[in-house]
Amino acid sequence: MTAEELDAFWSVARHQTRTNPVPGYLGTFSGEALIPPAWAFGATPEQADELVALVLDGTKTATAGAAWDYEHEDERLPRVGDLAIVLDGAQHPRALIEVMRVDVVPFDDVGAEHAHLEGEGDRSLEHWREVHERFFTEHASHDRGFDPAMPVVLERFRVLYPR
């Protein structure tokens, strides 16, 4: 991804959605509005492509992250109204999303509804737990390991662009 590609995507998305974040929004300055953070779902380019496709077709409207990773990286938790640009596996911008809901719950308390909204695999809670336990173990930035009681940040989002 180049800065020019991100700027161009943000310019079109911002105008199409009439989005102009409030002053002080964290990101890179670009003219009248600051560019939201850009990132990809998953840990590999293949996962990023698969997951952004689910976002774009409306199947994936939720995600989850280990709260311990946010803490370890000194990163604030997502908030309702936050915007983000979702990248594909080649790091190209594909979607502008807005956070609609944030909950922090123990891993074992994540429910079937959230698992279904994440849109992955057969969309079952069993699949969600298997995949996320492995992901939280293999890709943790913290050194606490996996714990069924670990806090998990659950986000629900909507796609603002493209529609």
pTM of the model: 0.87
Q: Which domains does the chain have, with CATH numbers?
A: 3-161 (3.10.400.10)
How far apart are the C-alpha atoms of 49 and 103, rounded to whole Å? 26
| pLDDT bucket at 21, cuts 50 / 70 / 90 | low
pLDDT digits (tens, 9 = 90+) for 92-142: 999 999 999 999 999 999 999 999 999 999 999 999 999 999 999 988 888
Q: Which residue, among 20, 97, 102, has the nearest Cα to 56 in the 3D structure? A: 97
Contact 130, 118 (CB under 8 A): no
* Token reading at 119: 């849109």
